[in-house]
Structure formats: C-alpha cells, structure tokens
Structure 1
Amino acid sequence: MKEFFKDIFEYHNHFNQKLVEQLIEYENKVPERTIPLFSHSINAQQIWNARITGKEKLGVHQIHSLKQCAIIDNENFKETLKIIDERELEERIKYENSRGTEFDNSIQQILFHVANHFSHHKGQIISDLRQSGIEPIVTDYIFYKR
C-alpha cells in the first residue's frame, strides 16, 4: 500500500508542477477563483501533513503566488513521502478541523482523502481553463503512467 501512495503522490506532484507552469503562462486569462483554488489544494496537503507530523499549518484559504505554490507543492510532496516511509499507514491521528471539532483517522485514510481532494480541485481548475478558452494540459492518471 505504501508503494501505491508513493505513486499517487508522485502523479499529483508531477501534474501540479505542470499545471503551475500552464497557469503562469496564462495567469492574466484565468478566472479569479483559479489561483485561490490551486493555493487551497496545496494548503490542504500541507495542513494534513502538519496534522500528522505536528508541524505548523498554513491557512486553509491562504493565497500564494503561483511560483510559491510550486515550491510549497514540492515541499509537501517530500514531506508526504517521508510520512509514507517513516509512519505506519494504520497509525491513528487525532486532530481538530478548522472549526475546532476533534476527529481521529488513520494515516491511510488521510492520504486517500488528500489524493481525492487534489483530483476534485484539479477538475475544477481544468474546467476554469476551458471556460477561459485555454486548452488545459491532460492530467489523467493513465496518461501519466503511459
């Protein structure tokens, strides 16, 4: 299972970096919500990593420049790989959500959530690009594996 998660996060990091490049290229044409949405996706992974490691968290809706998003995404990727390598996926993590409600989930559940979260918002960003007349990069997992 650890190899599966490494593969999924390598895939997300790969296409997050490619998507940042495309967003930088068309920064003046993308809808107003696109960069905050991308920032949110990057923040979410950092927040979940921090819940696992006990490190300081970013704000869930904190907005970054696209270049900063690329840097944070690479840092997140390295931190997630470290978590996968050093922690047990069955390990339970107690945390509070942004509203202060306490929860308890396994690292495996958290990683699966983060991967799905990326997919969800990546789809929204791709839709934003299309609606703005920009042909988005293909981000399908199977294309990555080909």
Structure 2
Amino acid sequence: MTHYAKNMYDFHTWANQTLINRLKELPEGVYEQEVQSVFPTVAKVVEHIYMVDQGWLRIVKGMDMRMALNEAWQQEQEMTGKSLEEVEQMYVELVEQYSIFLSQEEDLDRRIVLDNPYTRVRDTSLAEIIMQVANHGTYHRGNITAMLRQMGYPSVMTEYALYWYAN
C-alpha cells in the first residue's frame, strides 16, 4: 500500500502540472502581469512554491532547515525572468528528485529534529513534511486562482477530490 504522504506528493505534482498547463493556455504576458495581490505576479507565486519545495527536499535529505531555506532562497535570483516553460522544466527535475527520495526512503514515519528558525525546535516525521509540501502548494495555487480571476481569466480546478478521478 502506498504511504499517504507519497499519495499527497503525487497530488501536489498533478495539481502543479494542471495549473501550469492552464497558465500555458492563457495569453502571453499573463504569467508576468503585475496585479495588486499577495504576490506581485503569478510568476512570483510559482517561483515561491518551487523554492519552498526545494527547501523542504533539502531538509528531508538531512540538511539543517536554516541552511536549506537559505540555499532555496538563493535560487530566486536564478528563477527571476525565466519563462513558464523554463520553470516547468525545473519543476520536472524537482519532481524527479522527490521521486528518487520517496522511492528510497523506507520509513516516512521516521522522525527528525526540525530546528525552525522562525519558531522553535520540533520533532517531525518525514511524512508530515511531505504533507506540508502538498498543503503549502494547495494554499498558493489558491492565490494564483484568485489572481487570475482578478485579471479576468478563469483558473482550473486542482481539488484533491478531482485528482482521485483524474488518476
């Protein structure tokens, strides 16, 4: 039986790709169009999800949280100005890295010490971290949906229940 955290990561991957496919259907410029919202552009939200996913991958592989997040934030410079297609390819590569980790990790219920610089030390399972990755993505895909509607474009459904039937 597949561990629930792996299933949620698969959902996260599906939902991100579903949204990227929708963004590719929209008129040129929408991805970088400035809007008065939580993030200045849809591109910045997509980049944020990617960078946070990168940080968490480093953490589950054993890197200190502060160092993992610093390295992930440094990537922001690399991502700025990249096309949606280039960012999509970066996601494909990141998903592959997660897939390798998830296929090799025998115990997702294994607990690690998470020294979160924004709050405090916490004993956390790898599965909880993978669930955080999926939950964080869901939250920010909602931001993108609201931003697209504000610009006059419909988004696309990325609900977990739809994922059940799409796969």
The interval holding the TM-score normalised by the smaller chain is 0.7 to 0.9
Deviation at 1:97, TM superposition (A): 4.1
Q: Look at both structures and tell me which one has the larger radius of gyration over its CA atoms.
A: 2
CA contact (8 A) 1:16 1:70 kept: no
CA contact (8 A) 1:15 1:139 kept: yes
Matched residue SS, 1:93: strand
CA contact (8 A) 2:113 2:122 kept: yes
- In the alignment, the residues of structure 1 paired with residue 54 and residue 132 of structure 2 have an alpha-carbon distance, to the nearest angstrom, of 13
CA contact (8 A) 1:36 1:61 kept: no
After TM superposition, the structure 1 = structure 2 runs for residues 1-146 of structure 1, keeping only pairs within 5 Å, are 2-24=2-24, 25-29=26-30, 30=33, 31=35, 32-54=40-62, 57-59=71-73, 62=76, 64=79, 65=82, 66-87=84-105, 88-97=107-116, 103-146=122-165
Q: Percent of aligned positions with the same letter in both sequences?
A: 24
CA contact (8 A) 1:44 1:60 kept: no
**Deviation larger for 107-116 or 27-36:** 27-36
- Gap regions ≥5 residues in structure 1: none
**Deviation larger for 121-130 or 100-109:** 100-109
**Deviation larger for 22-31 or 33-42:** 22-31
C-alpha spacing 1:114/1:84, structure 2 compared with 1 (3 Å): same
CA contact (8 A) 2:5 2:128 kept: no
Give the superposed CA RMSD: 2.7
- Gap regions ≥5 residues in structure 2: none
Question: Between Structure 1 and Structure 2, how many residues are aligned?
Answer: 146
Deviation at 1:115, TM superposition (A): 0.9
C-alpha spacing 1:2/1:76, structure 2 compared with 1 (3 Å): farther
**Deviation larger for 96-105 or 69-78:** 96-105
C-alpha spacing 1:22/1:60, structure 2 compared with 1 (3 Å): farther
Q: For residues 90-135 of structure 1, give each alpha carbon's deviation from its aligned partner in whole angstroms, at most 9, with x where no partner exists.
A: 2233455466965542201111111110110011111111111111
Q: Which amino acid aligns with 2:91?
A: D
